[in-house]
């Protein structure tokens, strides 16, 4: 049936093309030109050829007439005073995915699938990758848990990209030093006596450009799942959001920037604190934490760490007062706060942190200084062939998103004695 629907769609497009010629001539109050007549003859010849191929396909596959009638386009009831009812939107993700499943398995074509594409301004023909856009309100619900339940993407600065653009660009102040003459990339003010002249200065601007890239995920559903729209919604939403969220979080930490996000650990803005002399492998010391904290820059700082380090963190203490008293550096969760704190800032165990002793096992970050750009809805395609022997269908999701830190380099402070001392919204430890 899928092939028959393709033939019918082609015939419909050809008829619309031919009728457009008549409509144009009628609007201009003239007869068809010789060129238009020749084009119309070509259209009719093509329609005859497509209809011939369709009839041959139907005869070859012995498709019964009653089955063909099931998938005929539904015509609105004849009523000159009422417009044909607009197809009701899908009520759930599961319901739309059932329609997509039926389409790709040749069991019927739901007009709502094409209405979604039309509303979003996309082509009404099937795209080359065989996908459908997820209905806008459902796409938002699909992505919402990913942003809300993943601590790393949720804390980044999100920028929606609209219109035909495939990238995001913004002008920023190119500031890599707080030294006089370098703030704001070169702005400087003076105290001057009356009549004295000053040297003209100006800010230096840089440019951030983020090209959107596809993030794809897959989720499997059994035939039993596909029969229950509510169950299918739960399976798809959980599987998709968890995997997409994990992948995006991992890229924000260590993405290469080539066809994916540029990660914090690959950024020129990263400050890396050297290990202590004689520090044992895979350890983390109070001195490490204090030196990381000293390099902080930002107002929304959090600690991201591998849970493997937690026993070491809980043993950290710092001296207070003059009587040799000690205070815990890491404070475990209290009350309704699910996370502990270090230096008063949330300490969040994240699965995508590096293993103990590797660069990135603990990071001090202001993620509001990380840009995430996204565009449009989620596109979904389905296949019944990948897991045919296990009665499973594979749903593939495509989501256009990319990101990078706002700063391109670490910051030289206004005054410093140690020439190796820098500040940044992103600080980590060297390998140990």
The whole-angstrom separation of Cα 41 and Cα 48 is 11
Query: What is the predicted pLDDT for the residue at 39?
Result: 85
Closest CA to 258 of 325, 213, 215: 213
Q: Are 253 and 265 in contact (CB under 8 A)?
A: yes
Task: Break the chain into its structural domains and give their ranges.
Answer: 1-72, 271-370+422-429
- Backbone dihedral region for residue 29 (phi beyond 0: left; psi -120 to 50: alpha; all else: beta): left
Whether residue 358 is predicted with pLDDT greater than 90 in this model: the reply is yes
User: pLDDT band for position 54 (50/70/90)?
Assistant: confident
Reduced to 3 states, what is the DSSP secondary structure of residue 263? coil
HSE toward the beta carbon, residue 341, CA cutoff 13 A: 7
Q: Which residue has the tokens 């700082």?
A: 301
pLDDT for residue 22: 76
C-alpha torsion sign, points 110, 111, 112, 117: positive
Report the 10 Å Cβ neighbour count for 279: 17
What value does the mean pLDDT take over residues 238-251?
85
418 pLDDT exceeds 70? yes
Helix (H) or strand (E) holding 167: strand 167-173
pLDDT of residue 239: 73
* Residue 151 parent element (H or E): helix 151-155
Quote the CA–CA distance of 424 and 365 in Å, as a whole number: 8
**Collapsed DSSP state (helix, strand, coil) of residue 57:** helix
Over range 375-383, report the average pLDDT. Answer: 68
Closest CA to 168 of 136, 212, 129, 135: 212
Q: Tell me how far apart the alpha carbons of residues 296 and 378 are, in angstroms, rounded to a whole number.
A: 37
> What tens digit of pLDDT does each residue of 95-146 get?
777 777 777 666 677 777 765 543 333 333 333 344 566 666 666 666 766 7
Asked if 396 and 383 count as a contact pair (C-beta separation under 8 A), the reply is yes
pLDDT at 252: 97
User: At 402, is the pLDDT very low, low, confident or very high (cuts 50, 70, 90)?
Assistant: very high
HSE-up of residue 227 (Cα within 13 Å, Cβ side): 4
> pTM for the complete prediction?
0.65
pLDDT attached to residue 310: 94
Separation CA 253–CA 302 (nearest Å): 14
388: phi then psi, degrees, rounded to nearest 5: -60, -40
Q: Share the mean pLDDT of the chain.
A: 78
- Alpha-carbon dihedral angle through residues 112, 117, 121, 124, given to the nearest 10 degrees: -100
Taking 80 as the threshold, does the pLDDT of residue 241 lie above it?
no
Residue 298: how many CA atoms within 13 Å on its side-chain side?
25
In degrees and rounded to multiples of 5, residue 408 shows phi and psi of -100, -15
Other C-beta atoms lying within 10 Å of the C-beta of residue 162: 7
pLDDT, tens digit (0-9, with 9 covering 90-100), for 66-107: 555 544 554 444 444 444 444 557 777 677 777 777 776 666
Write down the pLDDT at residue 78.
Answer: 44
Do 387 and 219 contact (CB within 8 A), yes or no?
no
Task: Give the pLDDT confidence of 258-286 residue by residue, as tens digits.
Answer: 999 999 999 999 999 999 999 999 999 99
Query: How high is the pLDDT of residue 345?
Result: 95
Q: What is the pLDDT of residues 167-221, one digit of tens each?
A: 887 666 567 777 776 666 666 666 666 555 556 555 555 677 888 998 887 777 7
* Cα–Cα dist 320/313, whole Å: 18
Q: What is the pLDDT of residues 301-336, one digit of tens each?
A: 999 999 999 999 999 998 887 667 888 999 988 888
């Amino acid at each position: 049936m899928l092939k028959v629907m393709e033939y019918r769609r082609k015939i419909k497009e050809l008829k619309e093309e031919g009728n457009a010629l008549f409509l144009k001539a009628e609007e201009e109050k003239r007869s068809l030109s010789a060129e238009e007549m020749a084009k119309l003859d070509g259209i009719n010849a093509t329609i005859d050829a497509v209809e011939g191929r369709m009839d041959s396909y139907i005869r070859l596959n012995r498709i019964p007439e009653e089955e063909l009638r099931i998938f005929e386009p539904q015509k609105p009831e004849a009523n000159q005073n009422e417009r044909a009812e607009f197809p009701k939107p899908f009520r759930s993700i599961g319901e739309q995915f059932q329609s997509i499943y039926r389409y790709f398995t040749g069991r019927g074509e739901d007009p709502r699938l094409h209405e979604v594409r039309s509303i979003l301004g996309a082509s009404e023909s099937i795209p080359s990758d065989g996908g459908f856009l997820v209905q806008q309100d459902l796409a938002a619900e699909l992505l919402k848990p990913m942003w809300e339940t993943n601590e790393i993407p949720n804390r980044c600065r999100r920028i929606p990209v609209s219109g035909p653009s495939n990238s995001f660009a913004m002008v920023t102040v190119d500031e890599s030093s707080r030294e006089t003459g370098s703030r704001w990339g070169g702005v400087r003010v003076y105290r001057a006596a009356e009549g004295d002249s000053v040297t003209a200065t100006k800010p230096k601007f840089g440019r951030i450009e983020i090209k959107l890239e596809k993030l794809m995920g897959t989720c499997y559903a059994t035939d039993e799942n596909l029969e229950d729209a509510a169950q299918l919604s739960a399976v798809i939403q959980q599987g998709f959001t968890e995997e997409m969220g994990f992948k995006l979080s991992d890229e924000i930490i260590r993405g290469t920037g080539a066809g994916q996000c540029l990660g914090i650990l690959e950024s020129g803005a990263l400050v890396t604190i050297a290990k202590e002399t004689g520090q044992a492998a895979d350890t983390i010391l109070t001195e490490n934490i204090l030196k990381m904290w000293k390099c902080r820059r930002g107002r929304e700082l959090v600690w991201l760490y591998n849970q493997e380090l937690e026993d070491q963190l809980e043993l950290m203490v710092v001296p207070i007062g003059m009587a040799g008293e000690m205070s815990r550096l890491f404070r475990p969760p209290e009350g309704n706060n699910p996370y502990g704190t270090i230096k008063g800032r949330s300490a969040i165990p994240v699965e995508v942190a590096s293993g103990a002793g590797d660069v990135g096992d603990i990071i001090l970050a202001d993620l509001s200084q990380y840009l995430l750009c996204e565009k449009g809805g989620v596109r979904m395609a389905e296949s019944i062939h990948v897991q045919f022997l296990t009665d499973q269908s594979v749903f593939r999701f495509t989501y256009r998103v990319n990101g990078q830190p706002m700063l391109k380099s670490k910051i030289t402070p206004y005054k410093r004695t140690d020439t190796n001392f820098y500040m940044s919204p992103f600080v980590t430890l060297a390998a140990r």
